[in-house]
Each structure stands twice: as structure tokens, then as C-alpha cells.
Chains A and B, each alone.
Chain A
Amino acid sequence: MSNQLPAIVLLLTLLAAPLCSMMRNGDHAWKLAVSSAWLSVVAAFALLQQVWGGYEISYHMGGWPPPWGIEVRIDELSALVLVLVTLFGSIVLSALRESLRPIMRSHRHSLYYTTFLLCMASLIGITITGDAFNVFVFLEISSLSTYALIARGRDRRALTASFRYLIMGTIGATFILIAIGFIYMVTGTLNMADLAERLPAHADNRVVQASFAFFTIGIALKVAVFPLHYWLPNSYTYAPKATTAFLAATATKVSLYVMIRFVFDVYGIEFSFQQMQLGLLLVPLSIAGFLIASLTAVFQNDVKRLLAWSSVAQLSYMVLGLGLLNIDGLTASITHMFNHAMIKAGLFLALAAMIYRVESSKLSDLAGIGRTMPYTTAAFVILGLGLIGVPLTAGFVSKWYLISAALEKDWLWLAVLLIASSLMAVVYIGKIIDAAYFKPVSASHAQVKEVPPIILIPCWTFALLTIYFGIDTRLSAGLAGRVAQTLLGVGS
């Protein structure tokens, strides 16, 4: 049983998806979806426990040995991402039923859960597969389900946002397909471990270099690296509320994982950073990204859009950590991937709870919500502090590593810029807190009540996790540190 876990963790959600679609009753579908999702969380933790300490699992699908068969490969990094996707996805899914009620009739719910599960399953697939082509296929499945999820937003602008994302996403994914085709042409293999072994011999081959360029652009689109973030703010703003929580937590993070996998493992650091000088591309772009995005966030009056822009900024931090190419930087990237997923999911979920009652996410409509919905707002504030990076929250740990990484390079100016960006986060989170607690409740929203526990509990779960991972960081930063050492090939 336990050595079949790599298949089980994927199949649970992948099989539950079509089953859900056959159910007419939304409630039953929800129960099935939630239980399969939580079972996959258990499986993910079991896998994490198996690889804990730097081990690897290689599972051969259908018993075919690699490089002929498809290999599932799980190391600590993929196990962490697996936990991220399943755990945060499941928490959001638990709150989803209640927040879907206002936007669609209940017999449609089951289809929505199907899409959600498909998205989750494909993200799991991307994480664990050891086959480059599989990455593309799962990436496309996740993207397609994401477009569908976004398009269900209440506002008709959700449709255009989704369409725009579809165009950009498909171009990005096709670029990745081209890249995979090119390296297959040169090496004749698609197994990632095999590729990693064979590629260094072809480092001077133009085809490999072109493939790297295609891959970088394609995945940068998916990660929303500035200036390819164009699709993100609108998609997050107009998608159904709870869905945004899921997408913000997982989709971009998994893309980032793919980026790390390919850049560090498949192409290899020497090729990526010394021959192709990826650092020179990523560092300036991400610096521009977090400055511009933070600044834009400060001037938003719609909280959803504000948080979406803040996501762009936070993703830039992660990419910056990669580009710095030292242990602290990479640790920061991976830790922040996990922490930010948790924090942003929580924030969007808390915001979804507010929208559930207030039916708007404009700052002016959220005035005084700290008094009408005290528990939701309190959770939002804790998570907001995490986003800023206040000590004893998870956000602090990752920022600490990131600034350390900048200082390690003797880039004082970068440390100053990072702190400036954190201060902008203080301003935009402060704006929300200010509205929530210090503006009078407008008459039309005076009757707003607290949300039902089924939404409130997930919000608070995220809030408490944020504090927990600010204190006990064995799972986040501890693991990330080990992974960073392995990826950079120093010590262990």
C-alpha cells in the first residue's frame, strides 16, 4: 500500500473528478470532493514523511522502468509542493460550497467541483511527474480547468479576463512544448533525470539554447514574472471569490516549482546561470516587478485587485530569490512559495467571506467591517500582518532569508529596496485595516452578520497556520534550506 502512494495521491482526485460530474446533487458531489481531497492530503503527508531528510522515491507507472516508462519522482521539494497543493486546496474546497451558493444553482455545483478537482489533480501531477512531456500535459489540464473556473465569475468581465488568460496561457504552454520538443530532438529522452544527465554534453548546441529560451518565456508567463503578469490581476479580480484563493495559492506556485525543476535540475545551474546568464534576466525583472506591483497595489480601491497586485509583487520576491543564486535566496524562494500560498489563500478566503455578506470588495463598502464581522476581519488582519512580514508570522521568515541573501551578495541597495517594498505592503494592508476598523459602518451594511462557521473555520485555519509557520519552520524553511543546498550542489 505505502509503496503505491505516489500513484494514489494523484488518482484520488483524478478519479473523484469524473465521479463528481455524474452526480446531480451538489451536496453529495461536495462531500465526495472534500473527502477525496482530504485523503490526498493524508497521502501527501505520508509521502513527505517517507522522503523527509533528503530521500527520493522513484515510482514506475505500470511497472515500466525509466527512461522508457513514465517515472514518478518525489523528493523533498516535490513533497513540499504536494503538501502545499493538497492541503491548501482542500481547505479552500471545504469552504467552497457555501460561497458558491450565491453565484450558481446547486445542480451546477457538481460540475464546478469536477473542474476544481481536475485542476487540483493536474497540479499534483505536475509536481510528482518525472517526465517532461507529462509536465506539459498536466500544465495544460490545469490551465484549461483554471480558465473554466475563472470564467464562472459573477462579473461579466470574468469572461474577458478568462479569455485573455487562455490566449496567454496557451501561448506559454505551447512555448514549453516547443522547448520540450527541442531537447527531445537533441537527447532523445523525455525522462527528466535522464535529460539532466545528457544535456550538459550538448550545452553548446544552439537547439538546446533555443529550447531554454522558449522554456524560460513560457514558464515566466505561467509564473507571472513581470512584465508577463498581464493576465493575473484581472483573472484574480473577477474569478469567483473562493476560487481565487485556490488559484493564488497553488497555480503560480506550481509553475514556479516547474521553473525551479527545469532550471536547476534539467538544464543544470551551470548552463542556466553561467552560460545563459538567466540571473541577469530574472533579477532586474523581478526587482522592477515587486516595486511596480507594490506601488500599484497601494493605489487600488478594490481589495481583490489590491491583493492580486500584491500577488504579482510577492511572486517577484520568489523569482528574485532564484535569480540571486545563493542558498539563502533559494531558501527564501521555496519558503516564500509555501508561506505566501498559505497567506494569500487565507486572505482571499477571508475576503471571500466578506464579499459573501457585503457583496462588494470596494474599500468604501468594507468600511467598518471590523465591527460587523469581527472574527473574519481578525483573521484577515493576522494574515495581512503575515503578508507584510511582521515577526512571528510566516511571512517574516521568508523575507528574512531574502534580505539575508541580498546582503550576502553585498547588495545593500537591494536590501533597502526590499524593505521599501515591505513598507508599501504596510501601507496597502494598513489601508484595509484602516477602513475595516476606523471608518464608520455605512447604513446599507449595518445589518451585515458574521459568516457561517464553514467559511470562518478555513479562514482561521490559514491564520493559525501563518502564525505556526512563523515559529516552527522545520517544514518550511528547514526543508527549503536542505533543498537549496541540494539544488546548488553544495554541502548537505
Chain B
Amino acid sequence: MTAPTLLLLCVLIPLLGGVFLALQGKSPNTRDTISLVTGVALFAAVLGLYPAVLAGESPLLILAEPIKGLPISLQVEPLGLLFATVASGLWILTTIYGMGYMRGNKETHQTRFFLCFAISIAAAMGIAFAGNLFTLFLFYEMLTICTYPLVTHKGNEDARRGGRIYLGILMFTSIGFLLFATLWTYNLAGTLDFRAGGILQDHVTPTTALILLTLFAFGTGKAALMPFHRWLPAAMVAPTPVSALLHAVAVVKAGVFTILKVTIYIFGIDLIAETGAGEIALWVATFTLTVASLVALTKNNLKARLAYSTIGQLSYVVVGAMLANAAGIIGATMQIAMHAMGKITLFFCAGAIYVATHKTDISDMRGLGYKMPFTFAAFFIGSISIIGLPPMGGSWAKWHLLLGSIEATQWIIVGALLLSSLLNIAYLIPVAARAFYMTPEQKAAPGPIAEAPMLCVVPLCITASGTLLLFIFGDALNHLVTLIPLRAELP
């Protein structure tokens, strides 16, 4: 199969899977089989794109051309491929986990749930492989809209309020800022293609570049820069598999991925470095990553704490992008993969705890570690990775980010990154520590092991070991990341 066909398949497989799901809704077993087969097929299709990318090609596929000069096109490049691999790979695990969770919790409307889920993944694939900013914007909006029913899945007052905030902020920022910035870029550069070295060179003054990049940074509401971060905690009303995949991997990563794409392929890091266009976004991101960690400390609800942790971790990516040097970009890209793996582990754990014990507050989890040893061990491993300590994958990302900020001689940011890591320790480690080292309030006899269903526990063990593997095989990842063309090749 040629690479363009594979590209198309990457978007079509989840969509078709979704349609089959909708048609086959009656029997849960058939439905789950379809989900799983779709997930594996998608992952295979994404992997099938590697040979071409490693050979340095970037296949292109034009789907339609609704506006002259602005086709809807798909194109592979290393950054997008990495994002697609992470999202599709973790989708398989989430599907397995979702079966356990949804059945364990006896949720309603499961067919709608899996259908929207499949469409969301298709949109994430579209974002990953978007050939120009216009296509990216299309899929970005599609992702917002089709994750909305997932957020409001429970259908109660809480879910609706969460959904309203979710849709409100994401739509407002994307139409108000992102669309505007996109149009402006098109007007300045005459194209929206993603090109190595950027398309805005020679078209902007430093002030315009500063305004434009700031618009992009805030416009990408999914990157959850403060003050547009409120949607992420609000979206935590969703069932945990949704929070896990979408709000730790697909949706939020789509946001920071967009920012990375824009810095690398629209502005070009040289332009940003020369004009200082990233200044505002850089400092807002630094502020966000510090403050979000502080807020996370105050949260007792586990998912809320994880949500604020995500906000903080996303800002690492933005910081990396705005540093506008090679180390920063590498760190940012790795952070996408590493954080995805780590955070999905933590969310899986939170869900597993909920399924097994119906507990959501951290203060209630004392001594739970003996009942659910695998879950909490995985939680501990995931935490280490998020904090960025060896021997977990997260350390590579943090390492490169620190290198990048030293290279840019931004000492305040070096300090902020270190401080934030300390705060990470302060809010993540106690969760596992309480579970293992503190006795529960009621002196119940230490019962037998009562883990969540196997379908929940196995995926989270896999992702936990994944963070370890990412550390060991960090080099392979590094190789892929260095393939990202940061500058236009000299003719």
C-alpha cells in the first residue's frame, strides 16, 4: 500500500469503525470486538507510515479544495507521526480499558460513547497528519465538537455545566483567536502550508510576529494556557476513559501539537528567535506551569488534581516551543509522548480506583494500596515519569527542556522548571504514599486483594511499563525527533 493511501486510511479507519459500531450497537461483545479491531488496524496503518518518514519522505494527499489555494490535505512528517503513534497506540489500550470501565460501572448509552470516541480519534489523526494550517483547524474544531457529547455523557446537571464551559472556552478561543490568526497568516504569507523553516519569514515585522504568535498560543485553547485553562478541570466530569485518552492524550496534546506545528512550520524557530515573538507566550506558559502545580496541591479530588497537573505539564511543551532552539523543540516533542504515557497511566489508575471502590477523593485512599497493589504501583511509576526522574521516560523530556532553557540563557525558566518538578513531587507522590504507608481510618481487617476488573488493570500495567521502556529506548525516539526539519534546506 502506498503512503497516501495509508494516510487516508488513518482518518477513515476510525470513522468506518464508528459507523460499524453505530450499526451494530445491540450486542456489547460485537461492539467491543469492532472497537478493538479498528484500534489495531489504525495502529498498524500508522506504523505503516514509518518507512516512508524514516527515509525522509513526506507523502502528500489532497482531499478537496473548498477554498481556492487552500486544499484540505494530509501530509506526514515526523512530529505528526509521533503524535499519531501515541494517540493510536494508546487508543487500543483505552478501548480495552473502556470495556472494563463502562461495563464495571454499567454506564448507559455505550454505543453513542464508543461512536463519538471513534470520531474523536479520526479527528486527532486528521490533526496529526494535517497538510496545512487550514486542515488542522478543520479537524481541531471537529475534535472539539465530537468530544462534547463525551464530556456531557452522564447527562446530569454537573456534566452539563462542565460541557458548557468546555465548549464555551474552546469555541471562543478557536474562533476568536485561532481562526483570526490563521486568516491573518494567510493574508500575510499567501499560503498556509506547513513548510520547513516557516512561511512567515520576510512577511512580518517583529511586532506583528509577537501579536500573531500570542494569538496562536491563546487561540489554541486546547493547550490550556492560563487564563483559558478552565475547560480542562470542567471536562473531568466525563467518564474516566474519556479523561484518560482525550484529556491526557488526544485533545490536550492536539493543542500543544498545534502550537508546536505553528512554531516550527509556520513561523520557523529562527524567526521566533530573531524577533522574540515568543516572549509573551513563553512567560504565560512559565506562569501557568508554576501556578497550575500550586493549584494541584490544593485539590483533594484525584481527577481534579490530575487535571491541574496536566495543565502544568502542557505548559512545558509550550515553553519548549517558545524557547525556539533545537533542544527546546526536542524536549517539547518528547514531552508530548512522555507525558501522554505517564498521564494516561495515572488516569487509568484513578478510574480503576473508582470502579473498584467508588472513591474519588485522595483523602479517602489511605491504605488502599494493599487492596489494589498493582494499581497503586502503576500510579507510583506514572508519577515518577511525570515528575521527570530516571529511570522513567519523562526524564528525557525534562532534560532536553532544561538544556534548551540553559541554551537560551533563560535562568528564570530554568528555576521555574526545577521548582515545578519539586511541586510535582509534592502533589503526586503523597497519593501513592498514603495508599501504601498510611492505615485506613476504619480499622477494617486487611481484606484480600480487590483490584478492579482485569480489563482495567492490564492496560494500566502496560502503560506503566511503557514509561520505563520509553526511558530505555529514548534513543529511538530521539532519532525520530531529530528528523523534524527545523530549517528550510538550502537549495
Binding site for B on A (CB under 8 A): 385, 388, 390-392, 397, 400-401, 403-404, 407-408, 412, 415-416, 419-420, 422-423, 426, 430, 434, 438, 470-473, 477-478, 481
Contact = CB atoms under 8 A, between A and B. Distances in A.
13 contacts: A388-B175, A391-B141, A391-B142, A404-B183, A416-B180, A419-B176, A419-B179, A422-B175, A426-B172, A438-B160, A471-B72, A477-B66, A478-B68
Contacts of B66: 397, 470-473, 477
Interface string B165-176: 001100110011
Contacts of B168: 430
B33 interface: no
Contacts of A400: 67, 183
A419 B175 contact: yes
Given A397-B67, A400-B67, A434 B164 contact: yes
Contacts of B412: none
Contacts of B180: 403, 415-416, 419
A419 to B, nearest CB: 5
B138 A392 contact: yes
Contact of B183 (A390, A407, A426, A470): A407
Given A415-B184, A472-B64, A478-B68, 8 more contacts: A390-B145, A415-B183, A420-B176, A423-B175, A426-B172, A434-B164, A438-B164, A473-B66
Contacts of B138: 391-392
B48 to A, nearest CB: 27
Contacts of A426: 171-172, 175
A403 B183 contact: yes
B187 interface: yes
Contacts of A473: 65-67
A407 B175 contact: no
B216 interface: no
B183 A481 contact: no
Chain A CB count within 10 A is highest, among B67, B172, B184, for: B67
Nearest to A420: B176
B83 to A, nearest CB: 20
Nearest to B159: A438
B436 interface: no
Contacts of B167: 430
Interface of B: 64-68, 72, 137-138, 141-142, 145, 160, 164, 167-168, 171-172, 175-176, 179-180, 183-184, 186-187
Nearest to A408: B187
Contacts, number: 62
B186 A404 contact: yes
B67 A477 contact: yes
B64 A407 contact: no
Contacts of A415: 180, 183-184
A434 to B, nearest CB: 7
Contact of A423 (B67, B160, B172): B172
B65 to A, nearest CB: 8
A376 B67 CA distance: 30
A422 B142 CA distance: 18
Chain B CB count within 10 A is highest, among A400, A420, A434, A481, for: A400
Contacts of A423: 172, 175-176
A404 B187 contact: yes
Contacts of A481: 68
Contacts of B164: 434, 438
Contacts of A407: 183-184, 186-187
A388 B175 CA distance: 10
Closest 7 pairs between A and B when the two form their complex, measured CB to CB = A407-B187, A391-B138, A473-B66, A438-B160, A403-B183, A391-B141, A471-B64
A368 B180 CA distance: 34
A178 B183 CA distance: 43
B68 A477 contact: yes
A430 B172 CA distance: 12
A233 to B, nearest CB: 26
A412 B211 CA distance: 12
Contacts of A385: 145
Nearest to A335: B67
Contacts of A478: 68
A471 to B, nearest CB: 5
Contacts of B176: 419-420, 423
Contacts of B179: 419
Contacts of B68: 477-478, 481
Nearest to B211: A412
Nearest to A381: B145
A470 B141 CA distance: 14
A408 B186 CA distance: 10
Chain A CB count within 10 A is highest, among B137, B141, B164, B183, for: B183
Nearest to B161: A438
Nearest to A407: B187
A139 to B, nearest CB: 33
Given A397-B67, A477-B67, A391 B187 contact: no
A315 B39 CA distance: 46
A478 B68 CA distance: 8
A281 to B, nearest CB: 26
A390 B146 CA distance: 13
Nearest to B135: A391
A37 B167 CA distance: 42
A438 B151 CA distance: 13
Contacts of B141: 390-392
Contacts of A397: 66-67
Chain B CB count within 10 A is highest, among A391, A400, A408, for: A391
A440 B332 CA distance: 45
Contacts of B142: 391-392
Chain B CB count within 10 A is highest, among A385, A392, A420, for: A392
Contacts of B67: 397, 400-401, 473, 477
Contacts of A477: 66-68
A407 B185 CA distance: 10
Contacts of B145: 385, 390
A441 to B, nearest CB: 13
Contacts of A434: 164
Contacts of B183: 400, 403-404, 407, 415
A402 to B, nearest CB: 10
A90 to B, nearest CB: 25
B133 to A, nearest CB: 12
Given A401-B67, A408-B187, A477-B68, A391 B137 contact: yes
Contacts of B64: 471-472
Contacts of A430: 167-168
A70 B1 CA distance: 61
B3 to A, nearest CB: 23
A392 B141 CA distance: 9
Contacts of A412: 184
Contacts of A422: 175
A477 B186 CA distance: 18
A412 B184 CA distance: 9
Nearest to B66: A473
Contacts of A403: 180, 183
Nearest to A438: B160
Nearest to B63: A471
A288 to B, nearest CB: 21
Nearest to A396: B66
A147 to B, nearest CB: 39
A420 B138 CA distance: 20
Contacts of A390: 141, 145
A402 B142 CA distance: 22
A438 B72 CA distance: 34
Contacts of A419: 175-176, 179-180
A367 to B, nearest CB: 13
B422 to A, nearest CB: 40
Nearest to B186: A404
A326 to B, nearest CB: 12
Nearest to B137: A391
A407 B208 CA distance: 14
A475 B175 CA distance: 26
A385 B66 CA distance: 17
